[in-house]
Structure 1
Amino acid sequence: MSSSSSEVREPGFPSCVLITGATGGIGGALALEYAAGGTRTLILQGRNAARLSELSAACQAHGARVVTHELDVRDHEALMTWLSAACEADMPELVIANAGVNINTGEQQQGEAWQDVHRLLDVNVKAVFATVHGVLPAMRARGHGQIALVSSLAAWRGLPETPSYSASKAAVKVYGEAMRDALAAEGIRFNVIMPGYVESQMCFDMPGPKPFLWKPEKAARVIRRGLQANRARISFPFPLNLGCFLLSVIHPAVSGWILKRLGYGD
């Protein structure tokens, strides 16, 4: 293992970070961002064993100790059992619930298949809530900790091509905001991350325009800084965030017309 960067941690970098969905675009970039900044231990969950191994090696090259775990987060009991054990063994200071999937209504707008919707809700909503329930007892016992939940700008206003995905991310946004208020007095920080379009396979598989597309590394830097500052919402990029927010507050008939003019729902 290299002894380069992690011997001296940069200010504000937690010593131990746990990331679910680490094999995705944002998850992998976050792992490397924290490893490069001197985080001593990274606990990375994913389903792609080859990608986990590759990511582990890249993080170790920065001097981080890496613990990987191959797990399908739809097995919520197994997920919570693993998280509880990870908290006992390594006491992560920051947990990022990043695992997520996307589905859409199809090329012919035929609609979402029920089994796909069921799977999406198991990953995007139930697994996120299960992650919180798995790590929260240890953080409450210590009296401090930080939990970041990855939502989406789609949480502001649902997109016609991805209704279930949009709804799932809205649920995560509202849950995270409520938990932030509920646990603040106990020293537990909750943050909601609301990315726009970030380069990844999941992003490229989505239909419709992708304005203001960001590289994962840029997104990871913005997220890390936002978490360091304990921002309630970390939403980006600014122009798309502002536009999505405005779509959420104007009349639905008007916002629907605007979305169609922009190429969504054609």
Structure 2
Amino acid sequence: MSTAEHHALHQRCVLITGATGAIGGALAKAYAGKHTHLILHGRQQAALATLADACRTLGARVTTSSVNLTDEAALTQWLQALCATHTPDIVIANAGKNTHPEAPGQLEPWADVQALLDINLKTPIAMAQHLVPAMQARGSGQLVFISSLAGWHGLPTTPTYSASKAGIKAYGEGLRGLLGPSGIGVTVVMPGYVTSPMCNAMPGPKPFEWPPERAARVIKRGIDANKARISFPFPLNFGTWWLAVLPASISQWLIKRLGFDHTDDLGGA
């Protein structure tokens, strides 16, 4: 075996979608190192190239892709090609988007709803369909799904986003029990507000907002420990958790009192 082949066999392969986003980029840099092969996916090709160079400077081997994740045929072809070479050890399905009502009392545009559900919910599940058999054949792997504290209780300012994050939370929780006996870990991440363009565009207050680098450190530490759930920051997580367990009428009264149905903010982002 050559030195290069030996080195490749001992590299940890980490796949991150949405790597050009704030959390994705911070996670890429957190994982970058001389024993890591990063597969970074992002739609913004210039930003992706810059991120790849930064991760290479930190010692990582980097492969990039801008494949359309919501194109089922393209996604299948991409993941099959990856698994034919080396099935990723850790897969962080981070790509996502948000939408919100454009005016008080109006539903979100249907085209926006469909696009959001495709990338936030359908794509991570589709990725699992292709990756799990390869991970099971190897006997190891870890899937990481990005939910949100909005998954505890739907917010009037972002109902479809809340629904998608509640859905991927439930899917990841179910998958963890299903795949545990196969040696595959599943982690659900429930961030609060993390500084990013998507966060800035969200209507309503943004208490306890974290920089992406801090979020990435907490997420990586939780993934390394194969935690079932990573949720932060504590004060906001504790508060939103109560929204899930209290009677719905009380939760919805609290949401209104706390300003998370700010109709004056809708359409102003």
Q: 2:24 aligns with which of 24, 27, 51?
A: 27
Question: Which deviations, in whole Å up to 9, do the C-alpha atoms of 1:132-161 show, x marking residues without a partner?
Answer: 112112101101111101111110011001
**Cα RMSD, aligned residues only:** 1.5
Alpha carbons of structure 1 residues 39 and 214: separation in structure 2 relative to 1, 3 Å: farther
TM (norm. structure 2) is 0.91
Structure 1 ranges of 4+ moved more than 4 A: none
Q: 1:219 aligns with which of 215, 219, 240?
A: 215
Alpha carbons of structure 1 residues 68 and 113: separation in structure 2 relative to 1, 3 Å: same
Q: Distance in 2 between matches of 1:218 and 1:136?
A: 30
- Name the structure 2 match of 1:261: 257
> Are residue 116 (structure 1) and residue 112 (structure 2) matched?
yes
- Name the structure 2 match of 1:89: 85
- Name the structure 2 match of 1:243: 239
- Whether the 8 Å CA contact 1:81–1:134 is kept in 2: the answer is no
Q: Any residues of structure 2 matched to 1:8-19 within 5 Å, and which?
A: 15-19=12-16
Q: 1:140 corresponds to which letter in structure 2?
A: Q
Q: Distance in 1 between matches of 2:149 and 2:35?
A: 28
Pairwise CA distance, 1:80: 2.3
Aligned residues: 254
Alpha carbons of structure 1 residues 151 and 39: separation in structure 2 relative to 1, 3 Å: farther
Q: Which stretch has the larger CA shift, 68-77 or 111-120?
A: 68-77
Pairwise CA distance, 1:192: 0.4
Q: Distance in 2 between matches of 1:248 and 1:207?
A: 21
Q: Percent identity?
A: 54
Give the secondary structure class of the aligned counterpart of 2:32. Answer: helix
Question: Where does structure 2 lack aligned partners over 5 or more consecutive residues?
Answer: 1-6, 263-269
Q: Distance in 2 between matches of 1:203 and 1:77?
A: 31
> Are residue 40 (structure 1) and residue 36 (structure 2) matched?
yes
Q: 1:127 aligns with which of 101, 123, 136?
A: 123
Q: Distance in 1 between matches of 2:103 and 2:203?
A: 8
- Whether the 8 Å CA contact 1:73–1:123 is kept in 2: the answer is yes
Q: Distance in 1 between matches of 2:222 and 2:35?
A: 17
Question: Which deviations, in whole Å up to 9, do the C-alpha atoms of 1:153-195 show, x marking residues without a partner?
Answer: 1100110010000000001000000000001001011110110
Q: 1:154 corresponds to which letter in structure 2?
A: A
TM (norm. structure 1) is 0.92
Q: Distance in 2 between matches of 1:175 and 1:67?
A: 28
- Name the structure 1 match of 2:56: 60
Q: 1:233 aligns with which of 223, 229, 236?
A: 229
Q: Distance in 1 between matches of 2:221 and 2:89?
A: 16
Alpha carbons of structure 1 residues 25 and 14: separation in structure 2 relative to 1, 3 Å: farther
Q: Distance in 1 between matches of 2:70 and 2:46?
A: 20
Q: Distance in 2 between matches of 1:185 and 1:228?
A: 18
Question: Which deviations, in whole Å up to 9, do the C-alpha atoms of 1:97-141 show, x marking residues without a partner?
Answer: 111000001254532000100111111111010111121121011
- Name the structure 1 match of 2:65: 69
Alpha carbons of structure 1 residues 30 and 127: separation in structure 2 relative to 1, 3 Å: same
- Whether the 8 Å CA contact 1:35–1:42 is kept in 2: the answer is yes
- Whether the 8 Å CA contact 1:88–1:138 is kept in 2: the answer is no
Pairwise CA distance, 1:39: 4.3
- Name the structure 2 match of 1:3: none
